[in-house]
Amino acid sequence: MSNDIIDVSMISNKTNKQKAAITAVGGFVPDDFISNRDLEKLVDTNDEWITARTGIKKRRILKKQGKGTSYLAINAANDLLKKKKIDPKSIDLVILSTITPDYHVASSAPTVASEIKAINAYAYDISAACSGFLYGMSIATSYIESGRYKKVLLIGADMMSSIVDYTDRSTSILFGDGAGAVLVEPSINNFGWEDEYLRSDGVGAAWLNVKSGGSINPVSQKTFDNKWHYISQDGKTVFKSAVSEMAKATEQIIKRNNLDSNEIKYLLPHQANKRILDATAEKINLDKNKVLMNIKEYGNTTAATIPLLMYDYEKEFKSGDKLIIAAFGAGLTWGAAYLTWAYN
């Protein structure tokens, strides 16, 4: 018997099963926004500093009273359904990836499914922060590949303004509100979800989180006084980890699928910070013109960043284009995936 150790990270997840493909995309961002100039009035910062460090000029903010993440998700889903003339009754499952659900206990996905009239679907939330859409794609494609369902609606949506302290310079400059949606169905042309490499490490949970609201630090006067209900981060540590792990995951996907950088049409990275995106592209020797970005207009919308990229750049994609997705988020969670675009 051989004692050779097998590197499982180099084993592709490709199978001969039914391939799953993204067949439609939709998106929504609020009209209202906070610009860098607006933030200059709230914290010690300026437009030049924010732009140089993050690449962000504005971040969209949902200001409608009584509306939350489900409102963003519903609008993104309806955009997809209307654009592709899809009967919502044909949807089997709705998955909502978010860290800012409408309520702490009740899932927001059932609200979305009801409002879009997906009456034959069941629905649930998942939470993996900025990796949420990528993790959600792993779940959605698995349902299709198994043959269990034919139409899965995956939505990444976050109302980050609900957990941002606008007196905290380290986080207020980064986050915005938005939603992106994709429909996942069986491929009809053998293009679609090709491979994925997903990882997590709880050691970094304290580096990026909302300290209160969960079971460890229940709501109390102390949690309010200490502003533990807002998102906080160890910026330098998160930055280093994001660059390192996103690059490593992307390299794994490229290597084990025998891809050449020239073959890759685009990299769709989580829109965390332009410096992270540039550093990741440099580490994998990818032409920066192939790195898609919309962070300038939206900021970091957490689970919505990647589907919003697909929404904004949909017309640039052609059937058969080889795309790489990469993400890194709280948890810690991260990963990369390889897909071939399925339609023109």
Catalytic residue of the set 36, 75, 273, 300: 300
Residue bearing tokens 């010690």: 44
- In order, the DSSP letters of 193-242 are EEEEEEEE-GGGGGGEEE-SSSSSS-S-HHHHHTTTTSEEE-HHHHHHHH
**Active-site residue flag, 104:** no
Catalytic residue of the set 36, 209, 270, 273: 270
Catalytic residue of the set 36, 75, 78, 130: 130
The structure tokens listed for 231 are 């998102």
**Active-site residue flag, 270:** yes
Is residue 286 helix, strand or coil?
A: coil
Dihedral through CA 283, CA 276, CA 250, CA 271, nearest 10? Answer: -150
**Active-site residue flag, 300:** yes
Q: Which residues contact 153 (CB under 8 A, 6 or more apart)?
A: 77, 80, 91, 93, 94, 95, 118, 121, 181, 182, 183, 184
Residue bearing tokens 């053998």: 190
The structure tokens listed for 193 are 């979800």
Catalytic machinery residues:
130, 270, 300
